[in-house]
Amino acid sequence: MIRLLLPLLMALALAGPAEAHRLKVFATVEGSQAKGYAFFIGGGRAEQTPWVAKDAAGSRIAEGTTDDEGRFAFAVVPPPTSDITVTVDTREGHIAFATLPAARFAGAISSGAQAATEAPATPAAPKAPLDALVEAAVQRQLEPLMEQIDRMESRLRFTDMVSGVFLILGLAGMALWAKGRRR
């Protein structure tokens, strides 16, 4: 009996966290606003879940609760000097975070600040608003692609399931081989 229970207990002790219901956070920057959503890998959004945004020093910048679609948004004014980490905690053992680099905020805000400091009569003045418009357009086009890549990386694939089944079969085969050698 001990020979049967010992391998089972060892397998349970070495088991890692389940990936079928893991929480992930997608966050992006649009102008001086950060927004995103929290979702579970198996499908579904983290609805009415508390979130908090902190800078590198750990001080809170913003906090709130996700909406019915798992979305959150907050304004970041003035521009941050360090990266911002958005953490979503379901309080049921699921915690995930996304880090937004300070450079992503600085690009959008510095172009706006640059436009305000330049004289409107100079020929270079239209360039700053144009840069801001181009950056905003590129951000709008890239955001769906970034979301799709994030979803593709986090979903459970058929090959992952087949690999798990064959791992179990391989371990069972090794156990049967070891048992047969003892006789």
- Between 23 and 123, where is the model more confident? 23
- For residue 177, the model assigns a pLDDT of 93
Instruction: Tell me how far apart the alpha carbons of residues 139 and 132 are, in angstroms, rounded to a whole number.
Output: 10
Which CATH number is 152's domain given? 2.60.40.10
Owner of token pair 């521009």: 79
Please check whether residue 28 is in contact with residue 72, taking contact to mean a CB–CB distance below 8 angstroms. Answer: no
Please indicate, yes or no, if residue 80 is contained in any of the structural domains: yes
Three-state secondary structure string covering 121-156: CCCCCCHHHHHHHHHHHHHHHHHHHHHHHHHHHHCC
- For residue 72, the model assigns a pLDDT of 94
Is pTM beyond 0.75 here?
Answer: no
**Position 166 confidence tier, pLDDT thresholds 50, 70, 90:** very high
Please indicate, yes or no, if residue 73 is contained in any of the structural domains: yes
Instruction: Tell me how far apart the alpha carbons of residues 111 and 82 are, in angstroms, rounded to a whole number.
Output: 18
Q: Which residue segment(s) compose the domain that 98 sits in?
A: 22-159
Please indicate, yes or no, if residue 16 is contained in any of the structural domains: no
**Position 162 confidence tier, pLDDT thresholds 50, 70, 90:** confident
Amino acid symbol at 97: F
Q: What is the mean pLDDT of residues 97-105?
A: 86
Q: What is the mean pLDDT of residues 140-165?
A: 77
Please indicate, yes or no, if residue 60 is contained in any of the structural domains: yes
pLDDT at 116 over 50: no
Please indicate, yes or no, if residue 170 is contained in any of the structural domains: no
Please indicate, yes or no, if residue 137 is contained in any of the structural domains: yes
Number of separate domains in the chain: 1
Bond from prior residue into 7 cis (ω within 30 degrees of 0): no
> Could you give the C-alpha distances from 83 to 5, 55, 120, 126, 129, in angstroms and in order?
49, 6, 33, 30, 25
Q: How do residues 49-99 score in pLDDT, each as one tens digit?
A: 999 999 989 899 999 999 999 999 999 888 888 899 999 998 888 899 999
Please indicate, yes or no, if residue 132 is contained in any of the structural domains: yes
- For residue 86, the model assigns a pLDDT of 94
- For residue 21, the model assigns a pLDDT of 67
pLDDT at 125 over 60: no
In which order are the strands placed within the sheet that holds 50-54? 60-65, 50-54, 84-89, 95-100
Instruction: Tell me how far apart the alpha carbons of residues 71 and 48 are, in angstroms, rounded to a whole number.
Output: 9
Please indicate, yes or no, if residue 79 is contained in any of the structural domains: yes
